[in-house]
Amino acid sequence: MGFSISQSSIENLKNQIDIVDVIGQVVQLKRAGSNHKGICPFHNEKTPSFVVSEQKQYFTCFGCGASGDVIEFVKRYYNMDFSEACEKIADEYGIKLEKNGGYDNRNEYYEINRLAAQFFYDSFTKKANKGYSYMKSRGISSSILKKFGIGYADKEWDSLYRHLKSKGIEEKKMQELGLISNSKGKYYDRFRNRVMFPIINTSGKVIGFGGRAIDDGDEPKYLNSPESGIFQKKNNLYGLNISRQAAGKQGKIILVEGYMDVISLFQSGIENVAASLGTALTENQAKLLNRYVKEVVLSYDSDSAGRKAALRGIEILRNENSKVKVLHVTDGKDPDDYVKKNGKKAFLNLVDGALPYGDYKLQSAMLGYDLSSDEDRLEYLQKAVAIISKMSPLEQEIYTKKISEELGIARSALDRELYRKTKPTEHKVNKRKESEEAEKGAIELSSLERTLIKLAFSEEAYIDKIFFEPELIQSGFCYKILSATRESISEHNFFKIENILPHFSDGELELLREVIDNTLIDSNHEDVFKECVKKNKAQLLAEKEKVLLLKLSMADEESDENSIREITDELMRVQKDKKKFMN
């Protein structure tokens, strides 16, 4: 179902449209000299700092730093991936895209889910039913039920199946989406006698469903759509399609565990809320959140499982440079129950009192210890120092001082223990996802990556060296090759190309063989590697310089002086560094 778009088709798309026209549909722009200005849609501001250049076909915000071409704007604004953004623009302007890969039937699957969602909604609203009675008993208003598209799957065994069949939908596609099941050659609805929560992505497409049992004894309590070509739990968050604008304006989002938590908080007036679809927070979900906010407040259950989920979530969000806080609703209640009983103001007080990630981790580590006991206190301190050792130097300063004062431990002793625990930070590979290949339009390898692959296949020692310079790896395909090679060596203690063949398609293997056979490198491998590092750093700096110059060229006397000064200072630093690598 996946596909990519040819590079020539991407260039043709950008040449046929006007960025001012595209952005002007969602942002009120006014001409300012040779540019257009407006209120930035990506952060909360009163004075326009968002500039669009018709001549350069580029946008930039001197307030939050967002910038890019028309495809980047559509990606950001509608939270789409690269291919989806290109499709949206092409559809609106009647431009044909040349796609590489297989037949793309995502739109057909979106339509099937839309039909199912409409069927559930009609069942919920057009006649008396247990689903509607249940949701009203939970105190949810009709307007909120409508806003979230809540539906009802009736008790019949095959009502949805018959409805979709009458629309000409094939059984195979219904099954792939998890709408029906098959037993002994008979088809029946997967969701029966349940309140239905449609899961909608930020592009407004129904990608799946969550069904809540109504009658006692019906198991499971929540039944979710299985993963499919259009639905992966790890990539989506419930309610974000509705809450993202409120979250962006407030600069933070509250992440809860369940559908009802989202709906109840939203009804109370707390609109910057989303849920993680019943799964532990994932890296992709953290990246998705990071597009809209820089602060995340985790509101999970206060039991052992909830604390573990919060601690895992903290690390994932921190890796995306998010500011993280954690709150546990008092009295063991969930946000749904709490906000109904105590109201919006009381819940917002909990949000204001949420613990910063460092305090929360240290507090969690303290559970189960009697700090009046020297033995317990020593064990806790060892855990605390291990936690602090992973923090930044400034955070280490703050928390060692805090622990010292709270437990009456000499600061010098904590510092010595911290020094013993601290180890050099390992380099992390900036792993490129395969979805990034779609952004390039097809599988492409730069001359630099071709040289690196040839080098790795010529001498195994350079595989790890390349991984410790993650900026060298520019594409998902290059990462895939080097990662498979590294794993093969780890598993077999030696490398044979036959061991990695199952990881690649025929087309990928053909490209890999072409690189190995036709790429020539000098016999002095260390010089080759150093030259690659040097050239790559020079190239990255040159690209950064180009973007900074473009931003400056779009600035005018009305632009924020501090932002312009920061860009200018950064440009001077980049140009100075670039000279070092150009010589």
pLDDT at 430: 38
pLDDT at 467: 72
pLDDT at 99: 65
**Percent residues over pLDDT 70 in the chain:** 90
Q: Where are the beta strands (DSSP E) in 257-329?
A: 273-275, 295-299, 323-327
pLDDT exceeds cutoff 70 at 379: yes
Q: Does residue 568 contact residue 75 with C-beta atoms inside 8 Å?
A: no
- Cα–Cα distance measured from residue 116 to residue 190, given in angstroms and rounded to the nearest whole number: 12
pLDDT at 330: 76
Average pLDDT of the segment spanning 287-304: 86
pLDDT-based confidence at residue 126 (cuts at 50, 70, 90): very high
pLDDT-based confidence at residue 46 (cuts at 50, 70, 90): confident
Domain 235-361 CATH (choose: 3.40.1360.10, 3.40.50.1010, 3.90.420.10, 3.40.720.10): 3.40.1360.10
- Cα–Cα distance measured from residue 362 to residue 302, given in angstroms and rounded to the nearest whole number: 15
Most confident stretch, 100-114, 265-279, 503-517: 265-279
pLDDT at 422: 67
- So where are the chain's domains? 3-101, 106-231, 235-361, 368-421, 443-521, 529-582
pLDDT-based confidence at residue 302 (cuts at 50, 70, 90): confident
Q: Among candidates 258, 313, 311, 257, which has minimal Cα distance to 282?
A: 313
CATH class of 106-231: alpha beta
C-alpha 293, offset from chain centre: 11
pLDDT at 428: 36
- Cα–Cα distance measured from residue 112 to residue 170, given in angstroms and rounded to the nearest whole number: 10
CATH number for the domain whose boundaries are 3-101: 3.90.580.10
pLDDT at 493: 62
Q: Does residue 458 contact residue 521 with C-beta atoms inside 8 Å?
A: yes
pLDDT at 494: 61
pLDDT exceeds cutoff 80 at 445: no
Average pLDDT of the segment spanning 471-485: 77
Q: Among candidates 469, 344, 323, which has minimal Cα distance to 392?
A: 323
Which sign does the torsion angle of CA 168, 172, 177, 179 carry?
positive
pLDDT at 193: 97
pLDDT at 514: 86
More confident residue, 419 or 286: 286
Q: Does residue 305 contact residue 289 with C-beta atoms inside 8 Å?
A: no
228-231 long-range contacts (CB < 8 A, ≥24 apart) are 228/109, 228/176, 228/177, 228/178, 229/1, 229/105, 229/106, 229/109, 229/176, 230/106, 230/109, 230/110, 230/113, 230/177, 230/205, 231/177, 231/199, 231/207
Question: pLDDT per residue over 196-229, tens digit each?
Answer: 999 998 878 899 999 999 998 899 999 999 988 7
Q: Among candidates 143, 134, 109, which has minimal Cα distance to 215?
A: 134
pLDDT at 555: 77
- Lookup result for tokens 């507090």: 363
In the DSSP assignment, the letter for residue 427 is P
pLDDT at 434: 41
Dihedrals φ, ψ of 176, to 5°? -60, -30
pLDDT at 437: 37
- Cα–Cα distance measured from residue 235 to residue 432, given in angstroms and rounded to the nearest whole number: 15
pLDDT at 230: 85
pLDDT-based confidence at residue 347 (cuts at 50, 70, 90): very high
pLDDT exceeds cutoff 50 at 438: no
pLDDT at 36: 92
- Cα–Cα distance measured from residue 331 to residue 321, given in angstroms and rounded to the nearest whole number: 31
More confident residue, 97 or 503: 97
Average pLDDT of the segment spanning 465-487: 77
Collapsing DSSP to helix, strand or coil, 490 comes out as helix
More confident residue, 535 or 271: 271
pLDDT-based confidence at residue 357 (cuts at 50, 70, 90): very high
**Percent residues over pLDDT 90 in the chain:** 44
Question: pLDDT per residue over 402-422, tens digit each?
Answer: 999 999 999 888 888 888 776
And the tokens for 549? Answer: 């110059």
- Cα–Cα distance measured from residue 540 to residue 60, given in angstroms and rounded to the nearest whole number: 20
